[in-house]
């Protein structure tokens, strides 16, 4: 019975979410970005910016005039990504900085290195993620999806929060964008077993991490609003995008996915458009606590609005990464 609840049901729920998204994408065009204001002098960090949607996000923000820090764990790939962006863009610029989100030590080192440079921070895009990997623990003992997709970003955001607050001002807020997914609708937060050690399911672990990001988004925005700080936090859902995220599918699933992806999946540039919109659009100035899908504010799952669950996850996350509760 536990295997059915913890392994089979998460798989079914996740694939049902995927089918719903594909049906939507079959009949609806991808969001088209409006004309965006220049971002000269603004600094952004994009995690996982070496490929896929992260790279497209970094490229577009640099083209608007931003100084973009690509944060990732692939040095050669990251350096090459920054070089290509700088060749293309004469408005802003990009550079690579190493950070491994599955290591709390690495996240802290990245933040310290960034702080030492004395730069402001106006945009933080928590984009990096992984999906459907076999059961793996990080060096700190966390389940891999939970740490890479959520917990590492939770720590990174909190360690940079005072800098985001100082860099923003009323009428020109700093912005945090969290990359979630429609799979959060199938997510269940197992507070007594966040690392999924009792009965592992890669589908359940992935969905849980994406739900955690939405819960985190809403609770952080509530704190920032209560404190009157010029920082907004939003979650974005890019839809189903043809990226390396699907490399961990089974051989059969990959075979079935290939023809469907060519017709119905979004391109990385299309997927990144909602993130870029949240990061730079005038319409999003001062707007936080939203779940954005295809360029529109959308209702997320009922569970994601549970204030008690938001607080419980926040407290547990602070405990796990060794932060004092705000």
CA distance 103 to 69: 19
pTM value is: 0.93
Rg (C-alpha) for the chain, rounded Å, is 18
- Closest by CA to 211, choosing from 184, 186, 177, 239, is 184
What is the number of alpha carbons within 13 Å of residue 211 lying toward its C-beta? 26
Confidence (pLDDT) at 10: 66
Helix (H, G, I), strand (E, B) or coil at 136: coil
CATH of region 35-321: 3.40.50.720
Residue 15 annotated to the active site: no
| Helices and strands in the chain: count of H runs, count of E runs | 11, 8
Is the C-alpha dihedral spanning 274, 299, 187, 158 positive or negative? positive
CA distance 250 to 237: 24
Confidence (pLDDT) at 6: 61
What is the number of alpha carbons within 13 Å of residue 239 lying toward its C-beta? 28
Confidence (pLDDT) at 18: 79
Confidence (pLDDT) at 255: 55
Confidence (pLDDT) at 256: 59
**Token code pair at residue 30:** 């991808």
**Token code pair at residue 24:** 């939507």
Provide the b/e sequence for 243-257 (b: ≥16 CB within 10 Å): bebbeeeeeeeeeeb
Confidence (pLDDT) at 29: 85
Average pLDDT, 10 consecutive residues per value, the chain (326 residues): 60 80 83 94 96 96 97 96 93 96 98 98 96 90 97 98 97 97 92 90 92 98 98 94 60 58 78 97 98 96 98 97 83
CA distance 308 to 314: 10
Confidence (pLDDT) at 132: 77
CA distance 150 to 206: 10
Q: Are 132 and 203 contacting, i.e. CB atoms less than 8 angstroms apart?
A: yes
Active-site position among 24, 150, 200, 206 = 206
Q: What is the pLDDT of residues 187-198, one digit of tens each?
A: 999 899 999 988
Residue spans per domain, the chain: 35-321
């Amino acid at each position: 019975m536990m295997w059915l609840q913890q392994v089979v049901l998460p798989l079914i729920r996740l694939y049902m979410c995927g089918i719903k998204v594909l049906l939507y994408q079959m009949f609806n065009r991808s969001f088209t970005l409006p004309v965006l204001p220049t971002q000269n002098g603004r600094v952004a960090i994009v995690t996982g910016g070496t490929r896929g949607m992260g790279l497209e996000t970094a490229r577009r923000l640099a083209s608007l005039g931003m100084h973009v820090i690509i944060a990732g764990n692939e040095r050669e790939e990251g350096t090459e990504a920054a070089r290509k962006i700088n060749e293309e863009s004469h408005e802003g610029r990009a550079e690579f900085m190493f950070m491994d989100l599955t290591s709390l030590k690495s996240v802290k080192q990245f933040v310290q290195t960034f702080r030492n440079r004395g730069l402001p921070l106006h945009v933080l895009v928590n984009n990096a993620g992984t999906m459907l990997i076999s059961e793996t623990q990080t060096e700190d003992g966390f389940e891999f999806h939970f740490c890479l997709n959520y917990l590492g970003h939770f720590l990174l955001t909190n360690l940079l929060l005072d800098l985001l607050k100082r860099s923003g001002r009323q009428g020109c807020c700093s912005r945090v964008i969290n990359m979630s997914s429609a799979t959060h609708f199938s997510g269940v937060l197992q507070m007594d077993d966040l690392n999924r050690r009792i009965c592992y399911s890669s589908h359940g672990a992935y969905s849980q991490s994406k739900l955690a990001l939405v819960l985190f988004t809403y609770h952080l925005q509530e704190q920032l609003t209560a404190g009157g700080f010029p920082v907004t936090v939003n979650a974005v859902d890019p839809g189903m995008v043809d990226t390396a995220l699907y490399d961990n599918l089974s051989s059969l699933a990959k075979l079935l996915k290939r023809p469907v992806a060519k017709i119905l999946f979004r391109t990385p540039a299309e997927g990144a458009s909602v993130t870029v919109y949240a990061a730079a659009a005038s319409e999003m100035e001062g707007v936080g606590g939203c779940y954005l899908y295809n360029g529109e504010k959308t209702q997320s799952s009922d569970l994601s609005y549970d204030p008690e669950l938001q607080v419980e996850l926040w407290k547990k996350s602070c405990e796990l990464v060794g932060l004092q509760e705000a």
